[in-house]
Amino acid sequence: MAKGRLTLVSLGPGGLEHLTPAARSALATAEVVIGYGVYLDLIASLLRPEQRLLPRPLGTEVQRSREALLLAAEGHAVALISSGDIGMYAMAGPLFEQLDALGWSPAEAPEISVVPGVSAVQAAAARLGAPIAHDFCCISLSDRLTSWELIARRVEAAAAADFVVAFYNPRSVERHWQLGRARDLLLVHRSPETPDAVVRAVTRPDEHITLTTLAALDVSKVDMFSLVLVGNSQTRRSDRWLLTPRGYRVAPDAESGSQAHATVGELRSKPQ
């Protein structure tokens, strides 16, 4: 039997304009597409009737991984999908854990490849200008698989080290207190005026962005479709933009003026 292949496909934050050509091609050549039903709906317009679709509910990540691996091992071309980047808080984790647990030899295992994508933090940052132009970190506030003690330690460390922080999985109906605690931990090291953004459903039709400050962050308005971005001590807001300066010196007027009028040829011949 021909060896099957499994492609882990990142769908990006939602809007299909952010789906990479590599992801499109992986979807187009799959016989079987497996993933959370909502994400299959998102890419429905790109799929063909003869492709086999396997929508699976939330909370079945382990079974889904195993199913995808077994189908590929049987010889099928399988695409396993996740939103954003599949390697960030998504299906690549459980998939490779399952692969490890199966202990297949290289001859038994299907070919596996991972297609990267635009993560929610990148899409949110793009909407805001340059909030992650300097060191930043992502922290998931979901304590479903990670203890709150460990999450709190990471938030404290990020706060003390002055990282810009992107909070994934910030709040859900059951997990309603974690974001408030995380904000309080950040406030130990950071000014109440630190610029913050709640970016909901970025690139989707119901996208909504709220610019606020750490102290004024209204936790009750945040849900699981949101990403919360908190600036560092240098982050500043200008109109609808957030900027975390990296330290570039602004060129004096005369010099920037002459560069603005230079021809491409002149710029190429000048040392930068």
Ligand X SMILES: C[S@@+](CC[C@H](N)C(=O)[O-])C[C@H]1O[C@@H](n2cnc3c(N)ncnc32)[C@H](O)[C@@H]1O
Q: Which residues bind ligand X (CB under 6 A)?
A: 13-14, 82-85, 88-90, 119-120, 168-170, 199-204, 224-227
Residue nearest to ligand X (CB): 84
Could you identify the residue written with the tokens 């691996």?
69
Nearer to ligand X, 211 or 224 (CB): 224
- For ligand X, which is the closer residue by CB, 15 or 70? 15
Contacts of 217 (CB under 8 A, 6+ apart): 179, 183, 196, 198, 228
Please report how close the Cβ of residue 202 comes to ligand X at its closest, in angstroms.
4
How many residues in total does the chain contain? 272
Residue with tokens 């982050």: 235
Q: Would you call 132 exposed, middle or buried from its count of C-beta atoms within 10 A (0-12, 13-18, 19+)?
A: buried
Least CB distance to ligand X at residue 206 (A)? 10
Report the nearest approach of ligand X to the CB of residue 4 (Å).
24
Is the Cβ of residue 4 or residue 14 nearer to ligand X in the bound state? 14
User: CA 124 to CA 216: how far, in whole Å?
Assistant: 20
Least distance from C-beta 168 to ligand X, angstroms? 4
The neighbouring-strand residues paired with 211 are 197
Residue identified by tokens 């959370």 is: 36
- How do 226-230 and 195-200 pair as beta strands? antiparallel
Cα(78)–Cα(30) distance, integer angstroms: 5
CB closer to ligand X, 16 vs 224: 224
Q: How far is the CB of 127 from ligand X (least distance, A)?
A: 10
The smaller minimum CB distance to ligand X, of residues 205 and 252, is found at 205
